[in-house]
């Protein structure tokens, strides 16, 4: 694909060019925060999310500093899937 000039107005892009540029912009967040966020990722209760976190199977996907927890959603789901 040819390089698109960043000063090109959107209305001048072809559909192919627009889709190529759009790949770089994701509307979905990559991270969730806290046990509520982990529960949301796993589709379970907060208490079950706490159990899973404590088990250590998601350690690679979790960054924790004190009470602040940041979870990489994609990595958490991959690790959870591997540990059935």
- Each domain of the chain, given as residue ranges in start order, spans 31-82
Give me the mean pLDDT over the 20-36 stretch: 83
- Best CA proximity match to 35, nearest among 19, 24, 23, 48: 48
What pLDDT, on the 0 to 100 scale, is given for residue 26?
Answer: 67
Q: Name the band, by pLDDT with cuts 50, 70 and 90, for residue 84.
A: low
| Cα 61 to Cα 80: distance, rounded to the nearest angstrom | 10
Q: Are 72 and 31 in contact (CB under 8 A)?
A: yes
Residue 16 has what pLDDT?
87
Distance CA 58, CA 71 (A): 9
Name the strands in the sheet holding 68-72, side by side, starting at the edge strand that comes first in the sequence. Answer: 31-33, 68-72, 62-65
Structure confidence by residue, pLDDT tens digits, 37-83: 999 999 999 999 999 999 999 999 999 999 999 999 999 999 999 87
- Rounded to whole angstroms, how far apart are CA atoms 9 and 12? 6
Structure tokens at 43: 């589709």
* pLDDT score of 1: 53
């Amino acid at each position: 694909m040819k390089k698109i000039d960043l000063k090109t107005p959107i209305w001048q892009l072809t559909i192919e060019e627009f889709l190529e540029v759009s790949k770089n912009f994701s509307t979905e967040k990559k991270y969730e925060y806290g046990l509520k966020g982990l529960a949301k990722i796993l589709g379970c209760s907060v208490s079950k999310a706490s159990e899973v976190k404590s088990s250590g199977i998601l350690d690679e996907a979790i960054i924790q500093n004190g009470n602040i927890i940041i979870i990489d959603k994609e990595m958490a789901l991959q690790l959870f899937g591997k540990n059935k």
